[in-house]
Structure 1
Amino acid sequence: MAKGYWIGRVDVNDPEGYKAYVAANAEAFAKYGARFLVRGGAFAAVEGEARARNVVIEFPSHEAALACWHSPEYQRAKAFREPPVGLADIIVIEGYDGPQPG
């Protein structure tokens, strides 16, 4: 079964307010088996537009990734991140389990 991912691009306008979001989202992420693959860090925007912060979160399945997003636990946490604290683009996507170039 393919894993699920959240891919997020975020501009944080209120770092102190964003800390409340980070603390609150831990409950939902633990419940749905989330694992951070990218959490900030240096990047190069080689094509298109970027935001200041990038995040990739892995889940055991696409279904778990969607369930986490829609969960009451995450929706409570998300309220801490909404404007004016931050502005985000987030997609929930199914991973690829097929053949690789080789």
Structure 2
Amino acid sequence: MKGYWIAHVTVHHPEKYRSYTDLAPAAFQQFNGQLLARGGRFTQLEGNEHQRNVIIEFPSFEQALNCYHSDSYQKAKVHRAGIATAQVVIVEGV
């Protein structure tokens, strides 16, 4: 079954956030991740609103998890620290 990253992000320093967005896609590609949604228009119906919503599809739950824990993603994630607040969950598809 496929795996999905679902992330809700609030960016506090947009100009610095680019260092994260420049590096992270390479990690997603390395694990065959496909961006389904990143930013874009949304309507918050329940819960806390965030500036950005991201959905990334991976061939499996394990690949999604391995991507998150990979050296390449962890190197990108360091660039997000202190400049954005993120909630990330990995879910298995049906």
Aligned length: 94
Unaligned runs of 5+ in 1: 97-102
Aligned residue in 2 for 1:52 = 51
Match of 1:87 in 2: 85
Q: CA deviation at 1:73?
A: 0.4
Is the partner of 2:36 in helix, strand or coil?
A: strand
Question: What TM-score comes out, normalization by structure 2 length?
Answer: 0.96
Task: Name the counterpart of 1:99.
Answer: none
Q: Which runs of no fewer than 5 residues in structure 2 stay unpaired?
A: none
Moved over 3 A (4+): none
Q: Does 1:3 align with 2:10?
A: no
**Which residue of the partner structure matches residue 39 of structure 1?**
38
**Displacement after TM superposition at 1:47 (Å):** 1.4
Q: CA RMSD in A?
A: 0.7
The alpha-carbon deviation at position 17 of structure 1 amounts to 1.1
What amino acid is aligned across from residue 88 of structure 2 in structure 1? I
TM-aligned CA deviation for residue 78 of structure 1: 0.2
CA distance in 1, matches of 2:25, 2:37: 15
Report the Cα offset of residue 49 of structure 1.
Answer: 1.4
Identity of aligned residues (%): 45
